[in-house]
Structure formats: C-alpha cells, structure tokens
Amino acid sequence: MAQETKPRGISSYDVLSGRTTKDPNAKYKGSTTYKGEKIALWHSPSIFLNDLYGENQTKQFTSVMVIGSPGTGKSSLHSLISHGMHTRNPNYYVMHLYRKDLLKLDQTLKNVPPGRDLILNFHDVTGVFKDIQNPAQKSLIITTLTEARHPNFEQTDRKVMVLVNVHYENSMEKIWRSQGSWKIYTDMNSDEAQVFDGKTKGRYKRKVDIFQRTVLSQFRKKEFTVSLTQKMDRTYVTGGVRQDNIKSHLYGKQGIFRFIMVYDTIDVKFYLVPLEYCNLCSEGGQELKKTQATPREIDQLISNYYGQKDGRAGMKLALVNAGVLHQFRNKIAYAYNIAYELLSQFDIDKEALADYYRETAQIKEKKLWTINRKKVNYFKDLDEIRAKNVSPLGSMVLNRMKQDSDIDLNL
C-alpha cells in the first residue's frame, strides 16, 4: 500500500528513473496501475522483463547476477523473472539449482526435456568456486554452462537464461562474471558501492547514493519514497511486510513492492517489483499446494477459452511437452517419434517446413509471431464450471472443492 504526497516543484524523475530526458514527447512520463497500486511507468517491472526476454530470444544466452544481502529478496526476484519469462513463452523450462547441482552441472542438464528452452536459477552459490581446487573442473562447469544452448542429439539450439544470486559480485570467479551483462541489486552496502563505482568509473555515483538511501529506508523504516510522476512522489510499504509504526501514514498496511537497481551495461534503472510466481517457476514449486481438477474440468476450461477444436488441439500439444503421447491415435504417436528423428538427422529449415504445412492446411489467418496469453482467472473459472457441473445434492462436495481451489498464485 502507498501514501501519495502533494505535487512539488522538483521531480525525482531525473535521479530515480534512469530516463532523464525533459523532452515533452518522452514515452515514460506518467503513472500506471500495477497490482492495484499506482506506480511510475518508468518503474514498471514489465520494462526490464521485456528487455530480458527480447535479449534472450535474440542472443539465446543471457546471464543475470542478482546481488544483495541475505533476506533482501533475491530468491523472490528469481521467481519474478522466471515467471515473467515462461508466461511470455511457455516453452521455457524452469530449474532451481544449488551448490551441489552446480558442481555436477553436466549431469544435471541431462534431465532437461528435449526441445525446451532453459531458465537456470542458481541459489546461494557465493564463493562456490573456492571449494574447487581443480582448474579443469572449474573450466568444465563454465563450458557446460555456456554450451547449454547446444543440447546433445538436437539440431536446433535452445535459449538459455542463467540467474545466479550472490551476496556480493566479486564472490564469483571473474570467468563467471564475464559471462553476463545484467546486474540486479536488491540492496548495496558501501563496499559493494565502491566495487560498482570502480567498474563504471563513477558514472552512476549519484544514482547509487540514491539507491542506497532508498533501500536503507525500505528495510529499516519498512517504507520508502520514489517518484510517481515527473512532479509527484509516492511512499510505499516494503513488499512482504506490514507497517507497524503507528507514526506512519501507512500504519497497518501490507506492502507489495520492493525497490531494486538494474544495470544492463548501458544504464542504471530502478524498478518496483512484486512477488510473482506459480507452481511452474517458484523455488520449491513442487511443494506448493495445487488445486485438483478432473480431466473433464480442464477440457472445459481450455474449450471455454479457445473453443473445443482449437482448445483441445492446444492441450494435446501441451501434453506432448509434458512427455505424454497417448492422447493421439497410435500411428500419430509412432509418427511423432520418427518425425523427431527426421528433424534431428536432416538439415531442414523448420520454419519453412511449418510454413509448408500451414499452406497445405490453407490457414488464412496471419502467421503467429508472438505468443499471447489470455488474461484469465483459472480458479474463478473453475469454480463457475463446477457450479454448473455439480447437482444440488453435491453442494457439500462443491464447497469443499471451492475451499481447496481458493489459492491466489498470481497467475
């Protein structure tokens, strides 16, 4: 929750946004609503998530270091980025890995389903290379990481995004630090600020000072103030906590956002980030409670969204990605296995082959260039379907189902 202040003469837009132009035609000059709260457009996390996604789609390998003290939200930021990527493109396969997984990385990556792009989240690997005395083993880990784009027995490269969280940047070997251009800070102590100023030759010292003061307030006072428009500030309660200071205007309010600093080698920018995740992308996601649904209910949901014919076709494709084939007739399943081998054995332009089948099927609509998701509320829609499906005699069962499905996972 937030407290808006009165308009003022001098804007913090210059020092907080990283977009310091005074051009009246500048794109980012107002506020928007995100998670039910007003925030500055230039603070929207969608900006850096779109940039990350675009870079990974083009370069195919993106490395991000998330840097900050314990308890400042590094793991939550991993979940936000992972969620942002796989909701933009469901082909991403999210993995959460730890020190033991990094030390045997070549074995870990063998468990990745074929044909999937990767998001590798490495948690708490500060100083991990100090435990490795053999230089050849260090080199193998880095080589495996950078060559993860080239999976065995697959002709097409996959896209890989690596996120690693550390307590301070120099805790990782230089060879690792050189892999990526993105540095995201959840806080910054004086030693880390000196390292950053040294590497950027002091170009962003003023912004670093602003960031340090803002996050100090964020964690000590449980609230912080940043720009809302070019001439107005807004105060927010720190995400994940409740303001218990009775002298605060925001007393009793629960926070949504935390303040982060992003350096992408071009500029320093600041963003407000919430906690966003789902069962597919969160750390320990397999332990999150999932709402049970029957095959018939899932079929009804997808058919409601895209019609029975197209909805079922999309669901069958999703099952293929999950490693299930018996939704097809036997010959189609056999043909899939042979087709997969043909694509691996022959030098074939897959886009051209897809175009050929598209023309053969006489599909008249425009070719799909991006993957759009409907904005839907799965759990609310499921409750409505169950209300139609269950007879009055089953109302007791329906109420139990609603209780089980009343879970907000921010999907």
| pLDDT tens-place string over residues 111-158 | 777 778 889 888 766 655 666 667 776 677 766 666 666 665 455 678
CA angle at 79 for the pair 78 and 81, rounded to the nearest 5°: 65
Regarding whether 297 and 194 lie in a shared domain, the answer is no
Give the model's pLDDT for residue 213: 95
- How buried is residue 71: exposed, middle or buried, by Cβ count under 10 Å (0-12/13-18/19+)? exposed
Q: What is the pLDDT of residue 406?
A: 43
**In sequence order, which residues have a C-beta less than 8 Å from that of residue 362 and are 6 or more positions away?**
none
pLDDT digits (tens, 9 = 90+) for 331-388: 988 888 888 788 778 888 888 888 899 889 888 777 654 455 566 777 788 888 888 8
Q: pLDDT tens-digit profile of 178-237?
A: 566 799 999 999 999 998 999 899 999 999 999 999 999 999 999 999 999 888 999 999
The structure tokens listed for 354 are 């897809």
Task: Answer whether residue 411 is part of any domain.
Answer: no
Query: Which of these three, 238, 253, 285, is where a domain ends?
Result: 285
Token pair in block for residue 302: 């997808």
Same domain, 111 and 244: yes
Q: What is the CA radius of gyration of the chain?
A: 24
Instruction: Answer yes or no: is 174 within a domain.
Output: yes
Whether 118 is covered by a domain: the verdict is yes
Whether residues 274 and 293 share a domain: the answer is no
Same domain, 217 and 324: no
Kindly report which listed range (291-295, 313-317, 371-375) carries the lowest average pLDDT score.
371-375
Choose the final residue of a domain: 233, 266, 285: 285
pLDDT-derived band of residue 283, with 50, 70 and 90 as boundaries? low
Q: What residues does 234 pair with on adjacent strands? A: 4, 226
- Predicted confidence (pLDDT) per residue in 28-64, tens digit: 467 888 888 999 999 999 999 999 999 999 988 888 9
Tokens for 243?
Answer: 């303001």
In a domain, 225, yes or no: yes
Residues 147, 388: Cα–Cα separation, whole Å: 51
Asked if the model's pLDDT at residue 20 lies above 60, the reply is no
Domain at 241, CATH number = 3.40.50.300
355 and 333 assigned to the same domain: yes
Distance CA 273, CA 184 (A): 12
**pLDDT value at position 14?**
44
Does residue 410 belong to any structural domain of this protein?
A: no
Element holding 199 (H helix, E strand): helix 190-199
Domain that holds residue 17: 2-285
**pLDDT computed for residue 125 by the predictor:** 64
User: What percent of the chain is modeled with pLDDT above 70?
Assistant: 71
pLDDT band of 405, cuts 50, 70, 90: very low
Residues 32 and 120 both lie in one domain: yes
Do residues 230 and 331 both lie within one domain? no
Percent of the chain surpassing pLDDT 90: 27
Q: Is residue 120 situated within a structural domain?
A: yes
Are 126 and 23 in contact by the 8 Å Cβ rule? The answer is no
Is the domain of 235 the same as that of 314? no
Residue 327 and residue 240 share a domain: no
Looking at residue 4, its pLDDT comes to: 52
Supply the pLDDT for residue 103. 72
* Exposure string for 199-230, b = 16+ CB within 10 A, e = fewer: eeeeebeebbebbbebbebbbeebbbbbbbbb
Residue 365 sits in the same domain as residue 241: no
Residue labelled with tokens 């990283």: 18
